[in-house]
Amino acid sequence: METNVGEADRIARIGAGAVAGGLSLAILAGIVELGGSIAAVLGIVAVVMFFTAATRSCGAYSLLGMDTCKREI
């Protein structure tokens, strides 16, 4: 799998995943009053963000031809 997620993008994905995961857990705990389906969607978003940050590869970036990695030539 080719890497296409750069360092700044990876850090942003970790942050976004943490926020989405925290909000999902807050909804499930009843701290935030939103629907259960929103909690599930936020949980999935968190998992995807963490996975793409860990693997440094994003399928959407591949489809769109994007690359945020700085490559040394």
HEC secondary structure over 35-50:
CHHHHHHHHHHHHHHH
pLDDT for 16 = 97
Residue 45 lies in a domain: yes
When divided into structural domains, the chain yields a total of 1
Range of the domain at 53: 7-57
User: Could you tell me if 26 and 48 are in contact, meaning their C-beta atoms sit under 8 angstroms apart?
Assistant: no
> pTM, whole model, 2 decimals?
0.86
pLDDT for 51 = 97
pLDDT for 45 = 97
Q: Phi/psi of residue 9, each to 5°?
A: -65, -40
Residue 72 lies in a domain: no
Residue 21 lies in a domain: yes
Torsion angle, CA of 28/30/36/42, rounded to 10 degrees?
-50
User: Is 72's pLDDT higher than 70?
Assistant: no
Give pLDDT tens digits for 19-36. Answer: 999 999 999 999 999 888
Q: What is the mean pLDDT of the chain?
A: 92
Spatial separation of the C-alpha atoms in residues 55 and 1, rounded to whole Å: 9
pLDDT for 73 = 47
